[in-house]
Amino acid sequence: MLLGRSGVDCAAVLRFTPEMAAVAAESFVREFIWERLHAGCVVLGFDCRFGAGGSGNSDMLARMGAGLGFSVHTCPPVEVDG
């Protein structure tokens, strides 16, 4: 409900399986984010890692996004009560 009110068009939940864990970061971006989701904007946490061995990060995603035509927004850390 909150996602809908925030303007998010869609959210994808991917099951983390051994097969998914083995996908290279570049392949994940091209196959899932670009080809399957046709993302216009991707939002992720400042310390997000993805792809086999955690090789993908927000900087890499932003570079690929610039080339493929989607934007990337990296959320800063949030601290609650110190």
pLDDT of residue 39: 92
Look at residue 11 and tell me if it is in a domain. Answer: no
Look at residue 63 and tell me if it is in a domain. Answer: yes
More confident residue, 70 or 9: 70
- Does residue 16 surpass a pLDDT of 80? yes
Look at residue 7 and tell me if it is in a domain. Answer: no
Look at residue 5 and tell me if it is in a domain. Answer: no
pLDDT of residue 30: 96
> Cα(30)–Cα(16) distance, rounded to whole angstroms?
18
Look at residue 73 and tell me if it is in a domain. Answer: yes
Provide the number of structural domains found in the chain.
Answer: 1
Q: For the segment 30-82, what is each residue's pLDDT rounded down to a tens digit?
A: 999 999 999 999 999 999 999 999 999 999 999 999 999 999 999 999 999 98
Look at residue 67 and tell me if it is in a domain. Answer: yes
Range of the domain at 66: 40-82
pLDDT of residue 70: 96
The conformational region for residue 79 under phi > 0 = left, psi -120 to 50 = alpha, else beta, is: beta
